[in-house]
């Protein structure tokens, strides 16, 4: 996908992103693909259907990226964000994942689900979206007139020292295979992806669920499609091939005019879907007066998902406005949005961004973040359940400990509340 000028290439890059996101938004709405719902079904009812759909999306993305990377078709090592960075920020991945998991449970859905619900008329999700956007923006952009961000003020000094500097990439192939990283990526990715497929389709209930299979398949293919597009759009200048990012980095030497130069070259790198940092990018785009130089993959992805969800909700007759049911509902969503805003940036992604896109790169940090998200969500649901059943008789601590026992993370002897 080579173009003769930067602007044509960039337009294709952005519109291809939008179309893939639009399809994903419509299908996610149609199939009720929901990662928070997946954890809820599993924890509260023992139903693994939607969790298997999430795993199917992971398997499709892992197998696709593994194959395409092996043949040199996609570039996930120099991606944005840098999933395979040599600095393993494990504490940020874990803490951010836990915060995000708790937050998405309180706010009735993850970043992707927030966009889906917004497209379907849910005004609660608009509030959640705006709050996440503000936090995500200032987590990575300095406050006006300063060089301080929310991350540097609240987190950097105490959490970044825990990071581990590796000799090379943090993906499993590099960690296990060293100089033979490419071969080991192919082997590990193939084994992981095929193993997941076996586990997923072992369930007859899942095999018979058209929506779960469709949802997992389309989300996985959407992630893979975005990797392919963003890795292959290039500019051909007199036979010299430049990626969009490399062209923008050499703008002064290659372009005839400063007009149209992107404000930031990082969002021009190869990438796939994630939804928390792009909410901050969307805020920045609007604050800049919708200037084209602030229009990014992330902004187009958000718009595509929202429109896709809207179109399906209109077609299916499910579009309806919804507001907070009570003040408690309002508070839960506000707290959840705050936790998702901080957690999604700390973890370097959300349930899609780390749980599917990140894991498709086999990055160790992505697996840590994924585990944190699932644990944070599952534990929150357990605490909510025991507090609801026992009301004033159960303290938060007793509900928490009992929840950890239920999840087999503490011995049965420590159970504080009887199972119901």
Each residue of 222-276: pLDDT tens digit? 999 999 999 999 998 888 888 999 999 998 888 878 888 899 999 999 999 999 9
Beta carbons within 8 Å of 180's beta carbon, 6+ residues apart:
none
Over 90: is that where the pLDDT of 174 sits? Answer: yes
Q: Domain map of the chain by residue range?
A: 2-414
Angle, helices 277-287 vs 123-140, to 10°: value is 90
Alpha carbon 55 to chain centroid, angstroms:
14
Among 356, 382, 338, CA closest to 96: 338
| The predicted structure's pLDDT at residue 202 | 95
* Residue 75, both tokens: 């570039």
Mind listing the pLDDT tens digit for each residue in 356-409?
A: 999 999 999 999 999 999 999 999 999 988 888 887 778 888 889 988 998 889
Please answer whether residues 358 and 366 qualify as being in contact, where contact means their C-beta atoms are separated by less than 8 angstroms.
Answer: yes
Task: Give dist(CA 343, CA 355) in Å, integer.
Answer: 13
Contact indicator for 279, 112 with CB cutoff of 8 Å = no
Which pLDDT value is given to residue 254? 84
The pLDDT value recorded for residue 107 is 94
Question: Residue 23: in which H helix or E strand, if any?
Answer: helix 6-31
Q: Which residue reads 């950890």 in tokens?
A: 404
β-bridge mates for residue 171, sequence order: 363
Strand pairing category for 240-243 and 234-237: antiparallel
Q: What is the reported pTM? A: 0.95
Cα 192 to Cα 55: distance, rounded to the nearest angstrom: 11
């Amino acid at each position: 996908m080579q173009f003769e000028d930067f602007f044509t290439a960039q337009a294709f890059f952005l519109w291809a992103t939008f179309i893939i996101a639009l399809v994903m938004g419509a299908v996610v709405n149609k199939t009720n693909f929901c990662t928070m719902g997946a954890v809820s079904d599993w924890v509260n009812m023992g139903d693994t259907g939607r969790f298997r759909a999430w795993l199917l999306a992971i398997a499709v993305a892992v197998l696709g990226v593994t194959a395409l990377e092996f043949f040199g078709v996609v570039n996930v090592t120099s991606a944005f964000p840098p999933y395979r960075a040599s600095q393993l920020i494990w504490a940020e991945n874990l803490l951010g994942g836990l915060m995000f998991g708790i937050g998405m449970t309180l706010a009735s859905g993850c970043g992707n689900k927030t966009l889906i619900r917004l497209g379907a008329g849910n005004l609660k999700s608009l509030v959640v979206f705006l709050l996440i956007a503000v936090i995500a923006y200032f987590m990575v952009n300095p406050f006006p007139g300063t060089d301080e961000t929310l991350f540097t003020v609240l987190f950097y000094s105490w959490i970044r020292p825990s990071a581990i500097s590796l000799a090379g990439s943090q993906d499993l192939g590099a960690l296990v295979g060293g100089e033979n990283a490419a071969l080991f990526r192919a082997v590990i990715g193939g084994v992981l992806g095929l193993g997941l497929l076996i586990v997923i389709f072992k369930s007859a209930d899942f095999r018979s669920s058209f929506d779960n299979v469709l949802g997992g398949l389309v989300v996985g293919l959407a992630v893979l499609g975005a990797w392919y597009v963003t890795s292959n759009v290039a500019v051909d200048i007199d036979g010299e091939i430049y990626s969009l990012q490399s062209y923008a980095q050499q703008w002064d030497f290659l372009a005839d005019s400063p007009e149209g130069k992107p404000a930031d070259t990082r969002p021009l790198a190869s990438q796939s879907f994630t939804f928390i940092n792009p909410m901050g990018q969307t805020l920045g785009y609007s604050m800049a007066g919708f200037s084209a130089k602030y229009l990014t993959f992330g902004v187009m992805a958000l718009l595509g998902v929202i429109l896709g969800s809207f179109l399906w909700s209109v077609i299916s007759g499910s579009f309806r406005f919804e507001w907070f049911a009570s003040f408690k509902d309002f508070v839960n969503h506000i707290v959840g949005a705050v936790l998702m805003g901080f957690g999604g940036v700390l973890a370097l992604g959300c349930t899609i961004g780390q749980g599917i896109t990140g894991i498709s790169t086999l990055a160790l940090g992505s697996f840590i973040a994924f585990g944190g998200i699932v644990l944070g969500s599952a534990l929150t649901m357990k605490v909510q359940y025991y507090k609801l059943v026992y009301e004033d008789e159960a303290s938060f601590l007793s509900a928490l400990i009992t929840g950890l026992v239920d999840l087999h993370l503490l011995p049965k002897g420590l159970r504080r509340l009887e199972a119901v």
